[in-house]
Amino acid sequence: MDIIHISAECYPAAKVGGLADVVGALPKYQSLLGHSATVIMPFYHGKFSKSNEFTVVFSGYARLGHANLAFNILKPVNNNLGYDLFFVDIPGLFDRENVYSYHDDTERFITFQIATLNWLNTLEKTPDVVHCHDQHTGFIPFMMSKVREYSRFEQVPSVFTIHNGQYQGQFGFDKLYFLPPFHSYFNGLVEWHNLINPLASAIKCAWRVTTVSPSYLDEITYEMKGMEELLRNERGKSYGILNGIDVEVWNPETDPMLEQNFGLKTLEQGKKACKDSLCNQFGLNPDKPLFTFIGRLVGEKGADVLPEVIYNVSKYNPGEQNILILGSGEKHIENSLLHLESEFKGSYCSYIGYNEKLSHMIYAGADFLLMPSRVEPCGLNQMYALRYGTIPIVRRTGGLRDTVIDIGDDGFGICHDQCSTFDIIHSIQRAKTLYKDKRTFKKVRKEIMQIDHSWNKAAAEYVELYQSLKL
Ligand code: ADP
Ligand code: GLC
């Protein structure tokens, strides 16, 4: 099949979170299954664009309201990703370093979607399926089916994956004119609760909707920022497909970012070397169990509860553990985390910022990874942790519920039900007991490293879904 993925992020070209990891890996595994998979994304002016060469394969214009904006389609000169990658370069809108959080994100991503379809419209070949990811690409299914300019795509199946329903991209009807002209009869297809909402539009218009885990699909029918009813209405065409991980990039045996590589047979020595180097870097004691957190410092991830957890654990159980946090996000959480450092020097440290290498070192060197998420559509961190022999401590929600089974239920992780200081601390105490029971601890580490979360299964599930849509 000829599969087109459209996304705001794709690793290694641009990454903010798990969306990038998924869009960077799924097409690769679909190509391995014998399909032609392509990713189209915006051209940001970050590290990737500065350190690679590109050729222009198309130049055109995208109309955004009254403006006619020039754009180029770029292709990297060298590409060994295992799938085709194209960039939409729109000077004035995307020649900035970051992916999101600009005042004109609405204009940026609408233009990206229009430019993408304008380009695809000029190609000889019509794709077999267009797979869009998250709200930044949410108008594509609507435009493909209801905008006359793109009528060529009316019969092309569109699949939309909700990676995160917390971000919906809604804006007022005063900006309706940004969208290409369509009959006002279809206004309802871009609207939700009196606002224009790209996420709602995609859920309404895509031929199929998927979520990144089965449990998340169930959860959003009763809680998704006011969109539950819509999800319930569209439940019949929705599927929960659990994400995989790229087991080539995330392989402790070959990962170039680790102090020492390790496999099943060398797990104990390898993890020890990784832990020693990490503890050395952050002034922590390698003989104590190392608890870590990696991620966006936002309420969704339960990061706001971390300072209280760290305070209580460090104050009332001093010398029993180390805690290391890697993340960035809301300023008040960052400040609270930094503030605690001086008080608990030697047993707690945080790195505020984004650091890909450090994240790999932590997955490898940690004993436990905390994920107290309030919302977790899938979560990749727990799967990386498992592969690197690090035991996840998770709140049972979304994809965490689907991937981590509590050790008390013949599983391998530690689970709790609330995102509360009490529940997290209780789990930490359970983890410390496990850590002391060296035999079981080693056995669990060996077991989790062997769990297969590679993309093979999910990539095939997506292809099956696309094939079911063939006319
Ligand atoms: P989300 O996409 O909601 O942020 P996921 O668990 O799906 O959560 O994916 C998060 C990805 O981002 C993982 O690859 C994780 O290692 C990475 N990550 C998150 N925060 C950081 C950080 N501060 N530094 C490095 N990597 C990070
Ligand atoms: C989102 C979700 C996360 C998921 C990722 C990849 O960012 O928050 O849970 O793993 O997308 O699908």
Q: Do residues 415 and 395 make contact, with C-beta atoms less than 8 angstroms apart?
A: yes
**pLDDT for residue 308 is more than 90:** yes
> Domain range spanning residue 310?
267-452
Nearest protein CA to atom 10 of ligand 2, as residue: 379
Give, for ligand 1, the residue of 354, 369, 370 to mutate: max count of ligand atoms closer than 8 Å to Cβ: 354
Nearest protein CA to atom 5 of ligand 2, as residue: 18
Query: Considering Cα of 95, then 98, then 99, then 102, what sign does the dihedral take?
Result: negative
| Residue 324: pLDDT band with limits 50, 70, 90 | very high
Neighbours of 92 (CB within 10 A): 14
Cα 10 to ligand 1 centre (Å): 13
Domain membership of residue 332 (yes or no) is yes
Same-domain check for residues 324 and 424: yes
| Residue 140: pLDDT band with limits 50, 70, 90 | very high
| Lowest-confidence region among 52-56, 148-152, 276-280, 467-471 | 467-471
Q: What is the predicted pLDDT for the residue at 229?
A: 97
Residue 31, CB-side half-sphere exposure with 13 Å CA sphere: 18
Residues contacting ligand 1 via CB (< 6 Å): 17-19, 21, 294-296, 326-328, 354-356, 359, 378-381
Give 427-440 pLDDT, tens digit per residue. 999 999 999 999 99
Same-domain check for residues 313 and 359: yes
Same-domain check for residues 446 and 462: no
Domain membership of residue 258 (yes or no) is no
Q: Do residues 196 and 109 make contact, with C-beta atoms less than 8 angstroms apart?
A: no
- Find where tokens 């000029």 sit: 122
Structure tokens at 260: 């020492």
Domain membership of residue 260 (yes or no) is no
Q: Which ligand is nearest to the CA of 303?
A: 1
Same-domain check for residues 59 and 170: yes
Same-domain check for residues 463 and 434: no
| Residue 471: pLDDT band with limits 50, 70, 90 | confident
- Find where tokens 């087991």 sit: 247
| 3-state secondary structure at position 140 | helix
Structure tokens at 10: 């794709």
Same-domain check for residues 50 and 90: yes
Structure tokens at 412: 């391998």
Domain membership of residue 249 (yes or no) is no
| DSSP secondary structure of 37-59 | EEEEEE--SSHHHHHS-EEEEEE
Domain membership of residue 325 (yes or no) is yes
Q: What is the 3-state secondary structure (H, E, C) of 228-256?
A: HHHHHHCHHHEEECCCCECCCCCCCCCCC
Same-domain check for residues 103 and 209: yes
Q: Which of 367, 366, 451 is nearest to 405 (CA)?
A: 451
**pLDDT for residue 470 is more than 90:** no
Q: Which amino acid is at 438?
A: K
Same-domain check for residues 231 and 367: no
Q: What is the predicted pLDDT for the residue at 167?
A: 96
Same-domain check for residues 41 and 65: yes
Domain membership of residue 178 (yes or no) is yes
**What is the Cα–Cα distance from 387 to 421, expressed in whole angstroms?**
27
| Residue 350: pLDDT band with limits 50, 70, 90 | very high
Number of domains in the chain: 2
Q: Which of 234, 196, 245 is nearest to 403 (CA)?
A: 245
Same-domain check for residues 220 and 348: no
Domain membership of residue 290 (yes or no) is yes
**What is the Cα–Cα distance from 201 to 152, expressed in whole angstroms?**
20
The average confidence (pLDDT) of the chain is 98
The stretches of 123-166 forming alpha helices (DSSP H) are 140-146
**What is the Cα–Cα distance from 413 to 441, expressed in whole angstroms?**
11
**What is the Cα–Cα distance from 469 to 128, expressed in whole angstroms?**
9
Same-domain check for residues 231 and 312: no
The b/e string for 33-54 (b: 16+ C-beta within 10 A; e otherwise) is eebbbbbbbbbbeeebbeeeeb
Any ligand 2 atom below 6 A from CB of 227: no
Atom of ligand 1 nearest to the CA of 164: 3
**What is the Cα–Cα distance from 16 to 63, expressed in whole angstroms?**
28
Cβ neighbours of residue 268 closer than 8 Å, sequence gap 6 or more: 442
- Find where tokens 């979520």 sit: 211
Residue 88, strand partner residues: 42, 73
Q: What is the predicted pLDDT for the residue at 247?
A: 96
**What is the Cα–Cα distance from 17 to 308, expressed in whole angstroms?**
25
Query: Considering Cα of 384, then 385, then 387, then 388, what sign does the dihedral take?
Result: positive
Give 227-283 pLDDT, tens digit per residue. 999 999 999 999 999 999 999 999 999 999 999 999 999 999 999 999 999 999 999
| Residue 377: pLDDT band with limits 50, 70, 90 | very high
Q: Do residues 29 and 155 make contact, with C-beta atoms less than 8 angstroms apart?
A: no
Residue 398 belongs to a domain with what CATH number? 3.40.50.2000
Same-domain check for residues 145 and 11: yes
Give 181-204 pLDDT, tens digit per residue. 999 999 999 999 999 999 999 999
Structure tokens at 259: 């102090």
Nearest protein CA to atom 12 of ligand 2, as residue: 163
Domain membership of residue 252 (yes or no) is no
Q: Which ligand is nearest to the CA of 371?
A: 1
Cα-Cα end-to-end distance for the chain: 13
Cα 343 to ligand 1 centre (Å): 27
